[in-house]
Chain A
Amino acid sequence: MAEQVAARVSTPARARPRRRRSSTWVGWSFILPNFLGFATLTLVPVLASLALSFLDWDSYSTPRWVGLANFERMIHNETFWTALRNTAYYAVGHVPLTLVAALGFAVLLNQKLRAVRFFRTALFFPYITSLVAVAVVWNMLLSPDLGPVNQLLRAIGVDNPPGWTTSTTWAMPAVIMASVWRDLGYYMILYLAGLQTIPAELYEAAQVDGASGWQRFWHITVPSLRPTTFFVLIMLTISSFKVFDLVQVMTEGGPGRATLVLSQVIFREGITQGRFGYSSAISMVLFVIVLTVTLVQFRLQRRSER
């Protein structure tokens, strides 16, 4: 023992691992308080979810291995397909509209204007306001008979304005509209941060060459923002597939099943009905979709960088 210690002290080569071991301990001690909570309530559940999807388990019975039975049941279940279609519909509406709105506002705000702070505040505020309040207000604004939106539409000559959240056709567009309104401020700030990294010389050089504002936008702004757009796209896609709160409060998935999304089915099957296995199988599908979309976006990003 004493020899070992002496050896360590005497040769620098031996001293190294000892220092490393102590820094390992120090490193872990910093991470541990957070890691304990993170591991028990996030990491373990993520892994458990995969296992659960192969089990038949409700809150009372003992778990039983059933292989792919949960997935088979899902494939033959119409509610699942409706929810999957609706989730995709929501994503296809929400992602591009939010992206374009956020980029547009960011470009407008990136000019040297007075009152920029006011505009930024106004546009960002919806993102941090109480979701229930926002959903209820939108439901009132979109109220079919006397709501301000339809009053306005009638005033400009639309004879038969949509029934919005009471109509199976218009409920999803209504939800998408409210969600774009809510989210655009967040992504606008990401874009503003991206715009600030573009060197002004690029624009000046282009202006000297006689490029129009539109050309400068397409040939300088858009390519320079590619990393930001990539990040925004991934964040938007993930959040779209996760949508729950806004739908739950605005329409509860209705009318009928017109706005029912995957996360609501997972919630209802798993937590309300206590079908843990079946619900986890659906959540695995959701996870795989999000993962695939993210990986495809990574691929496309890398190809366009080449």
Chain B
Amino acid sequence: MTATIRRGAAYVLLTCLSLAVLVPFAWMLSASLKLDNEVFSVPIRWIPQEFHWDNFTRIWDRIPLLTYLRNSAFLSLVITFLQVLTGSFAAYGFAKVRFPGRDALFLAYIATIAVPWQAYMVPQYVIMQKAGLVNTHLSLILLQAFGAFGVFLMRQYYLTIPDELSEAARLDGLSEYGIWARIILPLSKPALASLALLTFVNTWNDYMGPFIYLTDNNLWTVQLGLRSFVGLYDAEYAMIMTGSVLSVLPILVIFLLGQKYFVQGIATSGMK
């Protein structure tokens, strides 16, 4: 009996708290369908009196949203691809090949994860400036594609794959590259998916990187475009929320498709 009551209480509590956490999204969606002067009505009207779906067509003319979305998609895809490819390749070297200096090298990777980005963002910027890459997409690609986090995450996963598998393949005459491509990669699909999703979402949502490196409007990502729209027209509440909804939508779709892998990826990164 008490167990039933306790479970009921947990349900009620969780429902209330989860809804409370979702309130900002409800507000965003509701405001995106209103007129500017209806957004801050007293009392709050959660369901718009009249649905202004035209906000979602008008916004494309107001800001170059298509360009921003394309830039964000391009950067996120390229960076994710490189991160997953070079990360899993390096992780194989760290997890399955024994050679002197390997562990010291890995420690250098781990140590830089703990160093705040701000501590080396200036030398990084200087290097990019000298190479003439500031204000190009290439700068962000180089900066984010070779992250230590991807190597770490993939290595953690590879350590759970028994060494006997690669030993057997070695005896069968497969080269190390062959083992990576034909045995380890197919086995690590969940980890690859986790890393890909986390990288994609992080790149899509990154603000500081593009903020520092991209000055040209044509190169801007969704985050920068939206921010500048807010700065220029801060009273167009409804339109700002429409842009926000559109910037969140791709992430929502990706998240719902790959939920399981997000959870796995985060849980793996917490493994010791």
Contact = CB atoms under 8 A, between A and B. Distances in A.
28 contacts: A24-B100, A26-B93, A27-B99, A28-B93, A30-B89, A40-B127, A43-B108, A43-B112, A44-B123, A46-B119, A48-B120, A123-B18, A123-B21, A125-B22, A128-B251, A130-B223, A131-B207, A132-B247, A133-B247, A137-B25, A137-B244, A141-B27, A145-B40, A189-B262, A238-B116, A248-B211, A267-B118, A279-B122
Contacts of B204: 130
Interface in B91-143: 92-94, 97-102, 105, 108-109, 112, 114-127, 129, 142-143
Given A24-B99, A49-B122, A34 B115 contact: no
Given A38-B112, A41-B124, 20 more contacts: A30-B90, A30-B97, A33-B85, A33-B89, A37-B86, A38-B146, A38-B148, A40-B127, A43-B108, A59-B129, A108-B10, A121-B255, A133-B226, A143-B40, A146-B40, A192-B267, A266-B121, A266-B122, A271-B125, A291-B114
B31 interface: yes
Contact of A41 (B23, B87, B127, B208): B127
Contacts of B90: 30-31, 33-35
B52 interface: no
Nearest to B268: A193
B255 A27 contact: no
Contact of A20 (B24, B99, B117, B230): B99
Nearest to A230: B272
A141 B124 contact: no
A109 B98 CA distance: 42
Nearest to B93: A30
Given A34-B86, A34-B146, A121-B259, A228 B270 contact: yes
B109 A38 contact: yes
Contacts of A270: 121-122, 125
A284 B119 contact: yes
Contacts of A8: none
SS of A interface (majority) = helix
Contact of A45 (B105, B114, B123, B270): B123
Interface string A234-265: 10001001101100110000000000001100
Would you list the 7 A-B pairs with minimal beta carbon distance, nearest first? A37-B146, A30-B93, A133-B244, A45-B123, A27-B99, A146-B40, A193-B267
A120 B263 contact: yes
Contacts of A37: 86, 142, 145-146
Nearest to A152: B44
Given A30-B93, A125-B255, A189-B267, A262 B112 contact: no
Contacts of A105: 17
A170 interface: no
Interface in A201-231: 213, 227-228, 231
B75 to A, nearest CB: 14
Interface residues of B, number: 98
Nearest to B31: A140
A132 B40 CA distance: 20
Interface in A97-138: 105, 108-109, 111, 113, 117-126, 128-134, 136-138
A130 B224 CA distance: 11
Contact of B99 (A28, A228, A286): A28
Contacts of B193: none
Contacts of A45: 120-124, 127
Interface in B213-272: 222-223, 226-227, 230, 237, 240-241, 243-245, 247-248, 251-252, 255-256, 259, 262-263, 266-267, 270, 272
B205 interface: yes
Nearest to A228: B270
A90 interface: no
Interface size classification for chain A: 35 or more
Nearest to A186: B266
Interface of A: 20, 23-24, 26-31, 33-38, 40-46, 48-49, 52, 59, 105, 108-109, 111, 113, 117-126, 128-134, 136-138, 140-141, 143, 145-148, 151, 181, 186, 189-190, 192-194, 213, 227-228, 231-232, 234, 238, 241-242, 244-245, 248-249, 262-263, 266-267, 270-271, 276, 279-280, 283-284, 286-287, 290-291, 294
B48 to A, nearest CB: 15
A40 B127 CA distance: 9
A49 B10 contact: no
